[in-house]
């Protein structure tokens, strides 16, 4: 197994790809890796935007900012390209999608002012993931507009996405298909009957169903639900088409999935689960990044105690604790290697990169640059490999 991600393969992610999705377990540093890849892209003269859909909102911290908003914000630096960042706001993205697909301003307003819509647009199960895909699609399409186009929005060569933890990220990948299934659901279609024809077109069984639900949740709630779906009339085809376009984008060659894990046994197990699910969906893992790895500093020297010192001689007693510490690090590195060796084999032929523990947590651009240096094997930054 290769100790590091090969230079050509890694460079392809930031020089040739249009979308990179960083996915994997929680707490392994996906935000840091995503931001580092975007920073590297900017350093190579391209325009990159890093997007987080992680509710924990760690992106601003990694970029050394107080906050990141829903609109792309440019991060200033001395790189030849551009670095931008944004944090997904589910409701505002949903609002924009409704406005785009509504036939008239009145239809859009009827939906946006509906009490059901206002209450669920930011919290409904699956909405967060689908709106993330919508934002990703929007940013990608902006990058395909002609340079001369006066659309008022920044253009990006690469969009790097920082996803929620593993099992939520599966929802992220599956969101377009689930939206399509919702639009095709029989109950959804029944509720789409126009208001003016409601009483004569809805079946007796459906009316009985709605009356039963009214007794449970209240007539006012049911009225809001019916009003919402009827206001939605005529928009479902636009949503269905958009969902199909989004699905085609994330499963195309323009998109690469980078699996991020730590060498801890549980994290490796979760990452393997996600890799399997990607494979089932026909999506290959483009690269594996193992973050926060204990490096091996060398095999020589005693394994503790005072025997077998440097050059085969006895080690001074005062050095024994240091040799013991070195031996412990070597043992840890060996165990970590065994943990993720199976994962690396599972995602083969995807290349593997190790990022070692750094002296301090990454909380600014300098720290992100240090991670990028490790990923791209710059002189003096290579991670020792077994």
Average pLDDT estimate for 92-98: 86
Q: Dump pLDDT digits (tens) for 347-367.
A: 989 989 999 988 888 888 999
The more confidently predicted of residues 353 and 314 is 353
Residue 197 has pLDDT above 50, yes or no: no
Q: Residue 330: pLDDT above 50?
A: yes
Token pair in block for residue 229: 């779906």
Q: What is the pLDDT of residue 188?
A: 55
pLDDT over 50 at 246, yes or no? yes
Which fold, 7-91+126-182+253-299+356-375? Rossmann fold (3.40.50)
Judge whether residue 247 has pLDDT over 60. yes
pLDDT at 369: 94
pLDDT in tens, 182-194: 556 555 555 555 5
Burial per residue of 306-331, b for 16 or more beta-carbon CB atoms within 10 angstroms, e otherwise: eebbeeeeebeeeebeebeebbeebe
Dist. CA 326–CA 324, nearest whole Å: 5
4-30 burial by CB neighbour count: b if 16+ within 10 A, else e?
A: bbeeebbeebbeebbbbbbbbbeebbb
Determine contact, residues 337/386, Cβ cutoff 8 Å: yes
**Percent of the chain whose pLDDT exceeds 70:** 70
> What are the residues facing 74 on neighbouring strands?
84
Confidence of residue 35 (pLDDT cuts 50, 70, 90): very high
**pLDDT on residue 385:** 47
Highest mean pLDDT: which of 223-227, 271-275, 328-332? 271-275
Reduce the DSSP state of residue 61 to 3 states and report it: helix
Q: Where are the domains of the chain?
A: 7-91+126-182+253-299+356-375
């Amino acid at each position: 197994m290769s100790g590091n991600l090969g230079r050509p393969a890694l460079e392809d992610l930031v020089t040739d790809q249009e979308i990179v999705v960083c996915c994997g377990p929680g707490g392994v540093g996906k935000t840091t890796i995503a931001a580092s890849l975007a920073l590297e892209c900017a350093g190579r003269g391209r325009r990159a935007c890093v997007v987080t859909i992680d509710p924990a909102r760690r992106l601003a911290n990694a970029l050394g900012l107080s906050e990141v908003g829903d609109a792309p914000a440019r991060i200033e630096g001395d790189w030849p390209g551009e670095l931008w960042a944004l944090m997904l706001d589910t409701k505002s993205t949903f609002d924009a999608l409704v406005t785009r697909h509504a036939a008239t301003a009145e239809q859009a307003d009827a939906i946006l002012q509906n009490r059901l819509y206002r209450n669920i647009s930011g919290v409904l199960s699956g909405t967060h993931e689908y709106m993330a895909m919508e934002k990703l699609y929007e940013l990608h399409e902006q990058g395909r507009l002609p340079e001369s186009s006066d659309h008022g929005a920044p253009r990006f060569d690469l969009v790097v996405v920082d996803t929620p933890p593993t099992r939520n990220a599966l929802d992220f990948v599956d969101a377009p298909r689930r939206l399509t299934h919702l639009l095709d659901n029989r109950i959804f279609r029944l509720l789409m009957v126009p208001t003016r024809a409601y009483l004569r077109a809805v079946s007796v069984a459906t009316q009985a169903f709605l009356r039963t639900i009214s007794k449970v949740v209240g007539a006012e709630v049911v009225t809001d639900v019916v009003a919402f779906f009827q206001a939605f009339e005529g928009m479902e085809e636009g949503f269905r088409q958009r969902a199909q376009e989004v699905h085609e984008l994330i499963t195309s060659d323009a998109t690469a999935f980078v699996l991020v894990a730590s060498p801890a046994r549980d994290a490796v197990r979760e990452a393997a689960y996600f890799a399997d699910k990607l494979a089932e969906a026909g999506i290959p893992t483009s690269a594996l990044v193992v973050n926060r790895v204990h490096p091996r500093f060398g095999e020589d020297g005693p394994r503790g105690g005072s025997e077998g010192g440097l050059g085969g001689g006895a080690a001074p007693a005062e050095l024994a604790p240091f040799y013991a510490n070195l031996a412990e690090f070597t043992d840890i590195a060996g165990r970590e290697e065994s943990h993720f060796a199976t994962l690396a084999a599972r995602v083969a032929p995807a290349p593997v990169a190790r990022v070692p523990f750094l002296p301090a947590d990454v909380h600014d651009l300098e720290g992100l640059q240090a991670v990028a240096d490790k990923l791209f094997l710059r002189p003096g930054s290579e991670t020792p490999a077994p």
